[in-house]
């Protein structure tokens, strides 16, 4: 077996995921009347990233072989896919949806900083408790629920940052504190996982001697990735890659604290006019 052969076989073309992703993108195109622009590209990128994450090598390796692959899959579903989908939403359909009382009430409640923060950070911490993490590996229904919860929790979390309705976004100060504390909480989880003792996630602990000539043997003997290194790598992904994916919107929010060049020029001109009077 070679790397190329392994990655060529590492796909699980689950029909429900493929059809669901296609239906989501077609529904979006119908809502925006099949207009193709930057927003459509962003939403389409989010759908494509979600699809590839759920049917590609990350899912294949994460289900049975590598804790680090499973961690990266969670990170993408939680912190990369939701922002892309939200950035692709046009304001008009969202405003129309929120004209319904129940939708508006749900949005107001879930957009509260404490609620959105606890839902998202709580989902990430809870699903990495060994009892829940291992249950998801052993039961496909629980596994699907786990992935859905990451997508939903990530969408709830990033909604007040990336909603197309400017008036519904957090102020820069609240947004910065909100993002920084969530980033810190997930980095702490990543550090704890990086230095956790072996044994919490037994699915990934098989040795090459126990697995014959299969994928595990390839991982252990060719990639030289033993269970301890795999655990350390997965934890490092959580506090490094997840941290970076939080850091980008954090910078964007902080930048809102400072007026743009044109706004500064206008303000300076107005001040100069007032002073001359």
Average pLDDT over residues 152-164: 96
Range of the domain at 187: 12-271
Largest Cα separation within the chain, whole Å, is 87
Average pLDDT over residues 210-237: 83
Average pLDDT over residues 59-68: 92
DSSP structural state of residue 125: H
Average pLDDT over residues 262-277: 43
Question: In the prediction, which pLDDT does 135 show?
Answer: 95
Residue 174 sits at φ, ψ, to 5 deg, of: -65, -45
Structure confidence at residue 224 as a pLDDT band (50, 70, 90): confident
Question: In the prediction, which pLDDT does 179 show?
Answer: 95
Q: Is residue 265 predicted with pLDDT exceeding 70?
A: no
Does residue 159 lie within any of the structural domains? yes
Q: Is residue 268 predicted with pLDDT exceeding 90?
A: no
Average pLDDT over residues 74-88: 96
CB 150 within 8 A of CB 127: yes
Does residue 123 lie within any of the structural domains? yes
87 or 262, greater pLDDT: 87
Q: Which pairs count as long-range contacts for 197-205, CB under 8 Å and 24+ apart, including other chains?
A: 198/227, 198/228, 198/231, 200/130, 200/133, 201/67, 201/130, 201/133, 201/134, 201/137, 201/231, 202/134, 203/64, 203/134, 203/137, 204/65, 204/66, 204/67, 204/230, 204/231
Does residue 116 lie within any of the structural domains? yes
What is the SS3 assignment for 201? coil
Q: Which of 248, 247, 250, 245 is nearest to 81 (CA)?
A: 245
Three-state SS sequence of 138-166: HCHHHHHHHHHHHHHHHHHHHHHHHCCCH
Question: In the prediction, which pLDDT does 182 show?
Answer: 95
Count of all residues that appear for the chain in the document: 277
Structure confidence at residue 93 as a pLDDT band (50, 70, 90): very high
Structure confidence at residue 259 as a pLDDT band (50, 70, 90): low
Sequence-distant (≥ 6) Cβ neighbours of residue 93 within 8 angstroms: 31, 32
Does residue 6 lie within any of the structural domains? no
CB 173 within 8 A of CB 247: no
267 or 14, greater pLDDT: 14
CB 145 within 8 A of CB 135: no
Q: Is residue 132 predicted with pLDDT exceeding 60?
A: yes
The number of domains in the chain is 1
Does residue 5 lie within any of the structural domains? no
Question: In the prediction, which pLDDT does 272 show?
Answer: 45
Does residue 65 lie within any of the structural domains? yes
Q: Is residue 208 predicted with pLDDT exceeding 80?
A: no
| pLDDT per position as a tens digit, 19-53 | 999 999 999 999 998 988 999 999 999 999 999 99
Q: pTM for this one?
A: 0.87
Structure confidence at residue 12 as a pLDDT band (50, 70, 90): confident
| pLDDT per position as a tens digit, 170-193 | 999 999 999 999 999 999 999 999
Does residue 177 lie within any of the structural domains? yes
Q: How far is CA 52 from the centre of its chain?
A: 13
Does residue 2 lie within any of the structural domains? no
């Amino acid at each position: 077996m070679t790397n190329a052969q392994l990655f060529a076989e590492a796909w699980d073309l689950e029909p429900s995921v493929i059809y669901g992703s296609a239906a989501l993108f077609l529904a979006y195109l119908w809502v925006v009347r099949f207009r193709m622009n930057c927003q459509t590209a962003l939403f389409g990128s989010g759908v494509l990233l979600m699809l590839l994450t759920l049917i590609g090598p990350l899912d294949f390796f994460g289900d049975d072989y590598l804790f680090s692959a499973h961690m990266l899959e969670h990170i993408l579903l939680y912190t990369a896919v939701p922002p892309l989908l939200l950035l692709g939403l046009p304001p008009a359909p969202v405003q129309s949806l929120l004209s319904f009382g129940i939708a508006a009430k749900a949005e107001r409640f879930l957009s509260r900083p404490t609620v959105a923060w606890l839902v998202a950070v709580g989902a990430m911490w809870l699903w990495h408790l060994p009892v829940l993490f291992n249950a998801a590996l052993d039961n496909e229904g629980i596994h699907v629920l786990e992935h859905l919860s990451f997508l939903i929790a990530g969408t709830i979390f990033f909604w007040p940052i990336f909603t197309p309705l400017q008036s519904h976004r957090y102020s820069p100060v609240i947004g910065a504190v909100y993002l920084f504390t969530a980033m810190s909480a997930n980095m702490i989880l990543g550090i704890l996982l990086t230095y956790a003792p072996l044994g919490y996630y037994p699915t990934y602990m098989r040795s090459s001697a126990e697995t014959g000539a299969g994928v595990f043997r390839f991982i252990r003997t060719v990639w030289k990735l033993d269970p301890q290194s795999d655990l350390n790598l997965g934890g490092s992904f959580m506090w490094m890659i997840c941290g970076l994916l939080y850091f980008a919107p954090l910078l964007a929010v902080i930048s809102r604290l400072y007026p743009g060049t044109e706004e500064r020029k206008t303000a300076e001109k107005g001040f100069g006019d007032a002073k001359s009077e």
